[in-house]
Structure 1
Amino acid sequence: MDAFILLGSFILLILLRMPVAYALGLSALIGAWWIDIPLHAVMIQVAGGVNKFSLLAIPFFVLAGAIMAEGGMSRRLVAFAGVLVGFVRGGLSLVNIMASTFFGAISGSSLADTASVGSVLIPEMEKKGYPREFSTAVTVSGSVQALLTPPSHNSVLYSLAAGGTVSIASLFIAGIGPGLLLSAVMMGMCLFFAKKRSYPKGEVIPLRQALKICVEALWGLMTMVIILGGILSGVFTATESASVAVVWAFFVTMFIYRDYKWRELPKLMHRTVRTLSIVMILIAFAGSFGYIMTLMQIPSKITTLFLTLSDNRYVILMCINFMLLALGTLMDMAPLILILTPILLPVITGLGIDPVHFGMIMLVNLGIGLITPPVGAVLFVGAAIGKVSIETTVKALLPFYVALFLVLMAVTYIPAISLWLPSVLL
C-alpha cells in the first residue's frame, strides 16, 4: 500500500500535467504524510539533494557546451569531419555522424548536438540531393552518442542517483566504447543507404584548405583532451575538469574564433542559468522522493519481484531493457535516471552486474527514448530544425531504431564494451 500511495500519487500528478520536478516533491510529501514521517525531514532531503560538490560538474559542463555551441565550434567541426570523410559516397551523412561524435564529446548533450549540427548540415544535405527526412533522421539518431561520451551530464546524474558509489571518471571512460560503437553502426547505416539510393559523393578538399580547417577545429577538440587528459593524469577531478573546460571554451570562443559578440554573453549566461535551475530543482525533489522510497523499502521489494520472475541475469536484463525503453518514451531522461537508479541498482548488484556497466545500459535505453514519440525531446527538436513532420521523421528513423537496438543488445550482453577501457586506464 505504501508503494501504491507514493508511486500512484506521482503518476496521477504527471497525468494532471504537473511538471515532473514538482510532482516528485509533492508525491514525496504525500508519502511522508502517509507513513507518518515529519514533513521537515523531507525538506532536509530536498536541501541535501543539491548540497554535493560533484553536482558542480553539471553547470560547468552545460556552460562550456553552450559557449562552444554558440561560438562557431559546430561549424568548424562539420568542416573538419568533411575533410576526413566528406569525399566518399554519402559523405555528408557520414560528416553528420562524425560531427555529432566530435561535438557530443564537447557538449555532452543530445539536444545541443542536434540543434548545432542539424542547423548546419540538414539544409546543406538537402541542397546536395539528400531527402530532408533522411537528413533529419541521421542527425537525430547520431546525437544519441552525446549521452554516452564524456562529458555526459547524464553520467553525472547517474553517479549522483547511485549515491556517489559509482565514480564519474569511471562512467566517463566507460562511455567511450559504447559511444564509438554507436557512431560506427550509424555510419555503416549511412554507407548502406548511400550505396542503395545512390547519394552523391563529396569533393576532396585541397590540402592547404584542409590544413587550415584542421587547425581551426583543433582548438575546440582540445576541450576533450583537457577533460579526459586531466582526469586520467590525476591533475584534477571530473568536477574540477568541468570548470577548466569552461575557461578553455571561453578563451577559444572569445579570443581564438572571435565569432561571438561580447554583448551576447549575458544572454547566454541567462539561458544557461534558466536551464540549470530546472535541472537543480529536479535533482533536489528527486532526492526527497528517493528518501521516501528507501523508507518504504520499495527498492528491496522491486528486487524481490524481479528475482521471482527469473534467476537468470540475462533474462532479467532483457526485462529491464524493455521496461526502460517503454518508460523512456513517456518521460524525460533526467527524472528517469534519478527515480529508477535507486530502485534498479540493488537488483543489478544482486545479480553481480557492475554498476558502471549498468549505467551505460541505462543511458543507451533512455537515449533511444529521447528520439522516440510521444515525448522524445530530441526528436521534436530535430523535426523542428529539419522542418519535417514528426510522423515523416519517425518513418525515416525506423531502420535507425533497429540499429540502435542492436547496439543496446551489444552493450547489454558484452560488458567489455563498457568496462575494458576503465580497467585499462583507471
Structure 2
Amino acid sequence: MEYIPIIVLVLSFVGLLAIGMPVAWSIAISSVLTMLVSIPALPAFTTISQRMGTGLDSFALLAIPFFVLSGQLMNKGGIANRLIAFAKTLVGSLPGGLALINVIGAMLMGAIAGSAMASASAMGSILGPEMEKEGYSKEFGAAVNITSATTGLIIPPSNVLIVYSLASGGVSIAALFLAGYVPGILTGLFLMIVAMFWAKKKKYKLGERSTLKQVFKTFIDALPSLFLLVIVIGGIITGIFTATEASAIAVLYTLVLGFIYKEISFKSLPEILLESSATTAIVMLLIGASMSMSWVMSYENIPQDISTLLLGISDNKIVILLIINLLLLFVGIFMDMTPAVLIFTPIFLPVVTELGMDPIHFGIIMVLNLCIGLCTPPVGSVLFVGVGVAQTSIEKVIKPLVPLFLAMIFALFLVTYFPQLTLWLPGLFDL
C-alpha cells in the first residue's frame, strides 16, 4: 500500500505527457489523482488548488515577471547587436571566430537578460545568416547557438536560480547568483574549445583581426548594456536592494536604454508587454502546479522513501552524486526546467545535505544538468527555438550537437566533483 501513491503519481504524469497534455496540466492532474488515493474528492481538489495559490504567494517570485520583461526589452532594444559587435572584435579572428562570437555573445546576453530562449532567438537571427555567408554549415551554427544560449541560466541574473531558492526553502539568491559565474563561464569556455576544433577540422574561413581602436569603440558602445550587470549583481551583493527590487530596476534601466538607442518606441511597448505577460503566465502556472506536486510528494513521504532508497544503494558521495546526475539528465529530456527544479529539489536536496553537500553547490549542479535537457528532444525548448531560427531540422543538428553536449557534460562533471569552483565566489563575499 505504501508504494501506491508514488505509482499513481508517476504513471498518471507519464501517461498524460504521452497523450500530449501540457506539462502544467499533467502535473496538476497527476497531483489530484495521487491525493484521491489517500483522501476523498472534495478535500483533494480543495487542497491542490490551495497549494497552487500558496505556492505563488512569494515575494521572491515577483522577480520573475520583471526579469522576463527586462529580457524582452533587451531583445528588442538593440542590446544584442552591440554585444555581438563587441564579441566580434575580441575573438573574430580566431578559428571558428563567428561560432566563438555566438558563445561570448550568448554568455553576455544571458548574463544580462537571464533567458536562454531570448538569447537563442537573438543570437540565431543575427549571427545565423552571417555564419552561412562565411561558409559555416547552418547545422553547426544552430548547434553552437542552442548550447551556448543555456549559459545564461547559470550566469546571473537567472530566473531558475530564484525558483531553486524557493524550492530549497530559502537558500540565498545572492549566493546562488555569485555561485553561477565560474560554472557558467567554464561551460562557455569548453563550448568555445569544441567550436574551435570543429571549425579547424572543417577549415572554416578566419575573420579579420581587430585593432585596439575597434575593440575600444565596440566596448564603449556595449558598456551601457554591460553596466546593468554591475547595477543588478552589485546591488544584490552589497545589500542595497533585493533580487526582486533589482529586477524592477533592470526593467527601468533597459527601457531607458532602448529609448536612448532608438530601438524601442511607445508604439512597440504593447507588443513587448503582451509577450512578457504570456511568458510569465506560462512560468507561473508551471510553478503553481509544481508546488502542489511537491506538497503531495511531501504529504505521501515520497522524498523520504527515495532518500532511503538512494542511501541504501551506497553511502559513497561520489556514487550518489553520479546517480543523481544521471537521473537529472534523464529528467531534463522529458521535463521543462522550472517544474523539474520545483519537483526534484525536495527529493534530492535532503540526500545530498546528509552527505555534507552545500545546498548552493547542489543548486548549480541541478541547473547545469537541466540546461543540457533544454537542448535535447522531445521537450527541449531551446533546441526548438534554435532549430526554428536557423530554419533547419533536429535530425540534421544532432551530429554537430553531440561534441558540444560532451563539453557541457564535462563541465558538469568538474562542477559536481570540485565544489570550490562553485563556492569560491560566495565564500569570498561571506554569503
TM class by smaller structure: over 0.9
Deviation at 1:6, TM superposition (A): 2.6
State the distance in 1 between where 2:177 and 2:344 align. Answer: 20
**Match among 221, 224, 231 for residue 219 of structure 1:** 224
One-letter code aligned to 2:339:
P
State the distance in 1 between where 2:97 and 2:304 align. Answer: 51
String of CA shifts for 1:123-149, please: whole Å, max 9, x gaps.
Answer: 101111212111111111111211101
Q: Secondary structure at the match of 1:353?
A: coil
One-letter code aligned to 2:113:
S
1:334 aligns with: 338
1:133 aligns with: 139
- Match status 1:264 vs 2:261: no
- Match status 1:155 vs 2:182: no
1:9 aligns with: 12
String of CA shifts for 1:74-98, please: whole Å, max 9, x gaps.
Answer: 1111001011111223221111111
1:303 aligns with: 307
Whether the 8 Å contact between 2:89 and 2:214 is mirrored in structure 1 is no
State the distance in 1 between where 2:97 and 2:191 align. Answer: 13
1:143 aligns with: 149
1:190 aligns with: 195
State the distance in 2 between where 1:197 and 1:278 align. Answer: 41
Please show how residues 12-411 of structure 1 align to structure 2 within 5 Å: 12-36=15-39, 38-39=43-44, 40-164=46-170, 166-206=171-211, 208-254=213-259, 256-411=260-415
Deviation at 1:209, TM superposition (A): 4.7
Q: Secondary structure at the match of 2:169?
A: coil
Q: Percent identity?
A: 45
State the distance in 2 between where 1:197 and 1:10 align. Answer: 44
State the distance in 2 between where 1:219 and 1:225 align. Answer: 10
- Superposed CA RMSD: 1.4
State the distance in 2 between where 1:326 and 1:15 align. Answer: 16
State the distance in 2 between where 1:356 and 1:265 align. Answer: 37
State the distance in 2 between where 1:210 and 1:145 align. Answer: 24
Deviation at 1:389, TM superposition (A): 1.4
String of CA shifts for 1:217-263, please: whole Å, max 9, x gaps.
Answer: 11111111111110111111112111111111111111x21112220
Deviation at 1:387, TM superposition (A): 1.7
String of CA shifts for 1:366-414, please: whole Å, max 9, x gaps.
Answer: 1111111222111111111112211110111111111111111101111
Q: Secondary structure at the match of 1:87?
A: coil
Deviation at 1:197, TM superposition (A): 2.8
Q: Secondary structure at the match of 1:263?
A: coil
Deviation at 1:206, TM superposition (A): 5.0
Deviation at 1:27, TM superposition (A): 2.1
Deviation at 1:283, TM superposition (A): 1.1
Deviation at 1:265, TM superposition (A): 0.5
State the distance in 1 between where 2:376 and 2:286 align. Answer: 22
State the distance in 2 between where 1:356 and 1:7 align. Answer: 28
State the distance in 2 between where 1:387 and 1:41 align. Answer: 45
Deviation at 1:122, TM superposition (A): 1.2
String of CA shifts for 1:96-119, please: whole Å, max 9, x gaps.
Answer: 111011001011111111110111
Whether the 8 Å contact between 2:110 and 2:155 is mirrored in structure 1 is yes
Residue segments in structure 1 that go unaligned for 5+ positions in a row:
none
State the distance in 2 between where 1:17 and 1:387 align. Answer: 24
Deviation at 1:28, TM superposition (A): 2.0
Residues 187-196 or 372-381, more deviating: 187-196
State the distance in 1 between where 2:120 and 2:34 align. Answer: 39
Deviation at 1:30, TM superposition (A): 2.1
One-letter code aligned to 2:83:
L
Q: What is the TM-score when the length of structure 2 is the normalising length?
A: 0.95
Residues 143-152 or 190-199, more deviating: 190-199
State the distance in 1 between where 2:191 and 2:295 align. Answer: 40
Deviation at 1:289, TM superposition (A): 1.3
Deviation at 1:208, TM superposition (A): 5.0
Residues 37-46 or 352-361, more deviating: 37-46
Q: How many residues align?
A: 424
Deviation at 1:210, TM superposition (A): 4.1
State the distance in 1 between where 2:303 and 2:229 align. Answer: 37
Deviation at 1:419, TM superposition (A): 0.7
String of CA shifts for 1:311-353, please: whole Å, max 9, x gaps.
Answer: 1111011111111111111121111111111111111111111
State the distance in 1 between where 2:37 and 2:424 align. Answer: 46
State the distance in 2 between where 1:88 and 1:395 align. Answer: 23
State the distance in 2 between where 1:73 and 1:218 align. Answer: 10
State the distance in 1 between where 2:244 and 2:317 align. Answer: 34
